[in-house]
Every structure is written in structure tokens, then in C-alpha cells.
Amino acid sequence: LGPNGAGKSTTVEILEGHRGRDAGEVRVLGHDPAQASAGFRDRIGIVLQEVGIERELTVREALEHYGACYSRRRPIDEVMALAGLDGLGDRRTHRLSGGQKRRVDLALGLVGDP
């Protein structure tokens, strides 16, 4: 979407409601993210370039940790199946391949049941 410094991360943060905008109008799901309730944020799932998961956590522990941030969440086993992580729940995240780590990132975006 653009080179380094173009504002991609800032744009995502504005769309999530984690950063205010300087000008203009923003609508996501019909709401201004800066004014939206916690329920709005529960409906959004974001997959970042790098999440920075604690390396000693297992896949299941990481999903449970992030899932605790949401008022509702999908069952961890369901999220793992959707992201192609079956059988990896007890593996420490630093022992995953690059592709498996990206699947964990996807699962983290789904755990809040957006």
C-alpha cells in the first residue's frame, strides 16, 4: 500500500480506534472508530505484520492470552482449526516455522470472533 513511512500503520490504528485522526471523517461498520464503544472493537479483527508474541508461550497460551481481551471470543480449538494450527497448541511459538507463525497471527485476528 505504500513505502515505509507512508502512514499504513497509522491508518490501521485510526481504523481500529486506537489513534485519533487529525482531519477528515472515518467510518468503519457505520461508526466513527474514535467514538465507538468497546463492543465496536470486539467486531474488528486485525492481522499485523508482526505481533511480537512472547516466545515462551505455547500457541494455545498465546491465543488464550489475546482472547482474554475480548468480551466474547471464539473457542480456541475452533480458531486453531480455522488457521490450520491443529496439533500445534502445545508448541512454543519460537519453535514454529515462519508460515506457522503467520497462521498464529491470523488466529490472533480471529480469536475475538470479529
71 in the same domain as 104 = yes
Q: Best-predicted range by mean pLDDT among 1-10, 44-53, 77-86?
A: 77-86
User: Where does residue 50 fall: left (phi above 0), alpha (psi -120 to 50 degrees), or beta otherwise?
Assistant: beta
Residue with the larger pLDDT of the pair 7 and 77: 77
Q: Which domain holds residue 77?
A: 59-110
68 in the same domain as 102 = yes
In a domain, 50, yes or no: no
Residue 62 clears pLDDT 90, i.e. is over it: yes
In a domain, 90, yes or no: yes
pTM: 0.73
Tell me the three cell numbers of residue 80: 486453531
Q: How many CB atoms lie within 10 A of CB 109?
A: 18
66 in the same domain as 25 = no
Residues linked to residue 105 through DSSP beta bridges, in sequence order: none
68 in the same domain as 106 = yes
Residue 24 clears pLDDT 80, i.e. is over it: yes
Mean of the pLDDT values across residues 56-67? Answer: 94
Tell me the three cell numbers of residue 9: 500503520
In a domain, 43, yes or no: no
Residues linked to residue 31 through DSSP beta bridges, in sequence order: 28
In a domain, 53, yes or no: no
In a domain, 19, yes or no: yes
Mean of the pLDDT values across residues 7-24? Answer: 86
pLDDT at 51: 66
Residues in contact with 52: Cβ distance below 8 Å, sequence separation at least 6, in sequence order: none
In sequence order, which ranges of the chain are alpha helices (DSSP H)? 8-16, 38-42, 59-67, 76-82, 98-110
Residue 84 clears pLDDT 70, i.e. is over it: yes
Residue 56: closest CA among 88, 92, 97, 91? 92
In a domain, 20, yes or no: yes
Q: Give the number of domains in the chain.
A: 2
